[in-house]
Structure 1
C-alpha cells in the first residue's frame, strides 16, 4: 500500500475549512484532511497566506482530475506530488 497525499492549495482559511468539510461528503473519505497555513515567502501578514488541505489517500482511489475541479470551486488548485 502506498502513502499518497494530495495537497489542495486554497486562497484563505475559510475556503480551506469549507473544502475540508466538503471533501468527506463528496469523496467519502474516512480520514479528516489536515489544514496547514502556508505563508508566502517574506510575508508575515495572515492575509498573504495560502491554506493547504492535505488529504491522505492510502488506497490511491481519488482521481486527480476530480480533485483539480474540486479545488477550483474555491479558486484553488491541486499541487502535483
Structure 2
C-alpha cells in the first residue's frame, strides 16, 4: 500500500463540513477526513480562513480530477500535498 493523500481546500467551515459528509456518499470513504483551519497570511480573523480536508487514500482509489471537480461544487479545489 502506498501513502496517498489528498488535500481539498474549501472557502469556509460550513463548506468543509458539507464536503466531509458528502465524501462518504459520493466516494464511499469510510475514514473521516481531517478538518484543518488554514488562516491566510497576515489575517487573524476567522472569516479570512480557508479550511482544508485531509484525506488518506492508501489504496489509490480516488481520482485527483474527480476530487477537484467535487470540491469545485463548493467553490473549493484539490491541492497537491
TM-score range, shorter chain: over 0.9
Measured on the aligned residues, the alpha-carbon RMSD in Å equals 0.6
* Separation of aligned partners in 2, 1:68 and 1:51: 15
Report the equivalent of 2:28: 28
Q: TM-score, normalised by structure 2?
A: 0.97
How many residues in Structure 1 have an aligned counterpart in Structure 2?
A: 81
Q: Which runs of 5+ in 1 are unaligned?
A: none
Q: Which runs of 5+ in 2 are unaligned?
A: none
**Matched position secondary structure for 2:19:** helix
Q: CA deviation at 1:30?
A: 1.4
* Separation of aligned partners in 2, 1:52 and 1:34: 8
**1:1-81 counterparts in 2 under 5 A?**
1-81=1-81
Q: Give 4+ residue runs of structure 1 displaced > 4 Å after superposition.
A: none
